[in-house]
Amino acid sequence: MNQRSSRLNARTRRRISNLPVHAVLMLLLLLSLLPVAMLFIQSGKTAEQFDANPWGLALPYNFGNFAQIAPGVTGYLMNTLTVCIAAISIALTIASFSAYVFARFAFPGKELLYYAVISLMMVPFVLSLVPQYILIRRLGLLDTLWALIFPYAAGGAVFGVFLLRPFIASLPEDLFEAARMDGANELQTFFRIALPLCAPIIVTLSILLLLGQWNDVIWPSVAVLDEQYYTVSIGIWSLTRGYTQQTEWGLVFAAFTITSLPILILFIVARRFFIQGLSSGAIKL
C-alpha cells in the first residue's frame, strides 16, 4: 500500500512539474489555431459587418459568401490542381531516379555532379526570374499552364534529389544484394525495394512541393496574364475586384477558405506518412 501511494505521489509530482510545459504548449497550439479561426470568422461577414467589427465574430453568419464565391474559384482550383499534379509528378520521377543513381552507383565525378545539382538551390529565385521568363517566352509557353509546370518541376526535382539521396543511401545494402541474387535487375530493385521504402519521404516531399506551388504568387503573376489560366494565388484577388469598387473582404476570406480545403484534406489523409518522413532522419545532408 505504501509503495502504491508513493508511486501515485511521484506521478502527481511529475504532473505538477510538467504543468508549465503543458501551459506553454497549449498557448502555442492556440496561437497556431488562431489564424485558422480568424479565417473562418472573416469568411462569414458582409462588407458592413466587416467595417463595424473587423476582428470579432459578427452574427448572423453569412454562409452565402461561400455559395457566391465558389463558382468563380472552381476554375482557379482546377488550374492549380492540374499544375501541381503535373509538376510534382515530373519532379518526383526525375528526382527519384537521379537520387537512386547518386546513392547506389559509383562513377567518376559523381560527387562533383551532385553538388553542381544541389548548388542550384543556392541561387535566389529573383536572380533567375528574368532568365526564366525569357526562356519560357522563347519557347512560346507564356499564358499556358506549361509556363508554370516546367519551372515548378525543375525546381522540385533539385529539391527532391537533395532529400531523397541520403534516404536511399541509408537503406541497407543487403536488401539490394538479396534482390540481385534472386535475379532482379536495377530497375526492379528500384521499383520493388527503393521506392516502397521511400514512401514516407516521397509523401513528405510531395506535400512540401505542393505547399510551395499552391502559395506561389510571383511566378504565376509574371508568366500567366490570361485569366483562364490563373491559379488560386492570383485568381482570388482578380475575382473579388469584380463585385464592387470596395474590396469585399468576406468574399476574399471565403475564397481563401475554399481553396485551403484540398490542402487540409490531403494533410489529414497523408499526415502519418508526412510525420514519419520528417522524423525518419532523412532530411539531412
* Nearest of 70, 71, 91, 88 to residue 80 by alpha carbon: 88
Alpha helices in 224-248 (DSSP H): 232-240
For residue 172, give the C-alpha cell. 541497407
pLDDT (0 to 100) of residue 283: 45
Q: Please tell me the distance from the alpha carbon of residue 269 to that of residue 275, in angstroms, as a whole number.
A: 12
Number of Cβ within a 10 Å radius of residue 194: 23
pLDDT (0 to 100) of residue 268: 83
pLDDT (0 to 100) of residue 7: 59
For residue 254, give the C-alpha cell. 471565403
Q: Please tell me the distance from the alpha carbon of residue 215 to that of residue 210, in angstroms, as a whole number.
A: 8
The helix (run of H) or strand (run of E) holding residue 155 is helix 146-169
Q: Are 88 and 206 in contact (CB under 8 A)?
A: yes
pLDDT (0 to 100) of residue 148: 95
* pLDDT tens digit at each of 285 positions of the chain: 555 555 556 666 677 777 788 888 899 988 888 888 888 888 888 888 888 888 888 888 888 888 888 888 888 999 999 999 999 999 999 999 999 999 988 888 889 999 999 888 888 888 889 999 999 999 999 999 999 999 999 999 999 999 899 889 888 888 888 888 888 888 889 888 888 888 888 988 999 999 999 989 899 999 998 888 999 988 887 766 655 456 778 888 888 889 888 888 888 887 777 776 666 644 444
Residue for grid cell 537512386: 100
